[in-house]
Amino acid sequence: MNRPALVLFDLDEVLAEYRHASRVARLARDTGTTPEAVHAALFDSGLEAAADRGELDGPQTLAELSRRLGAEVRLEHWIAARRAAMAAHEPALALARAAARRARVAILSNNGLLLREHLPAMCPPLFPLFENAVFVSAQFRRGKPDPQVYLDCLAELGVAPNEALFVDDKAANADGARAAGLHAHHFTGADGLAAALSAHHLLEPSP
């Protein structure tokens, strides 16, 4: 098996643990509202899903959430809430750092433009490893597991599908990557990721 030129990682529940309730609670606290109101305005309404599809840019997302919530949601509120919800998954991140010695690494997440623009402030431990290498569904106006989103992302990176390994905690997303011609690994933990990276000659052998 040839060594891939690129390892393309999912973000939430692979490189970072994601605590949805913490995000909602922090937004509610910072805007003087309630978690129930935040959830209804951002998630039940379909607003976040629309942002993930690229139907709203960052300022539009904040303005529409403010309107629906009846309270001002500033950029710093959004960043703080995402940061409160995220913690780097250190075992997976260590493996990403190790793989980066033998291949390029990047992120492809089903997410909005605000995350792409401000991820360094939301999850600092991911940087500088993923500097200028964060891609989201919103910029391509389609999301995983649509095979085209992987091809669009690889086109940005200048990498052929058969030269990329994709890693995601959702089996359907791994299947979508395979349908696009990428190698793929369904992430269930650091041990399995280490085995997959080793099989693709992306980890230096133990002395």
Residue 142: give its domain's CATH number: 3.40.50.1000
pLDDT per residue as tens digits for the range 191-205: 999 999 999 999 987
Per-residue pLDDT, 172 = 99
H/E run at residue 111: none
Print the domain residue range for 75: 20-84
Does 80 share its domain with 134? no
pLDDT in tens, 127-150: 999 999 999 999 999 999 999 999
**What dihedral do alpha carbons 37, 32, 109, 168 form, nearest 10°?**
-70
Last residue of a domain, one of 66, 84, 102: 84
| Confidence label for 207 from pLDDT (cuts 50, 70 and 90) | low
Last residue of a domain, one of 69, 84, 99: 84
Indicate whether 139 and 193 sit together in one domain: yes
Is a pLDDT exceeding 70 seen at residue 1?
no
**204 domain residue, yes or no:** no
pLDDT for res 205? 75
Beta-sheet strands, E only, within the chain: 6-9, 16-18, 86-88, 104-109, 134-136, 164-168, 183-186
pLDDT band, residue 206 (cuts 50/70/90): low
Kindly tell me if the per-residue pLDDT of 73 is higher than 90.
yes
102, 161: one domain: yes
Q: Are residues 92 and 79 in the same domain?
A: no
Residues 136, 97 share a domain: yes
Q: Is residue 144 part of a domain?
A: yes
Residues 114 and 190 in one domain: yes
The answer to whether residue 18 scores a pLDDT higher than 80 is yes
Last residue of a domain, one of 84, 112, 130: 84
User: What confidence score (pLDDT) does residue 163 get?
Assistant: 98
Task: Identify the CA nearest to 107 among candidates 131, 91, 140, 80.
Answer: 131
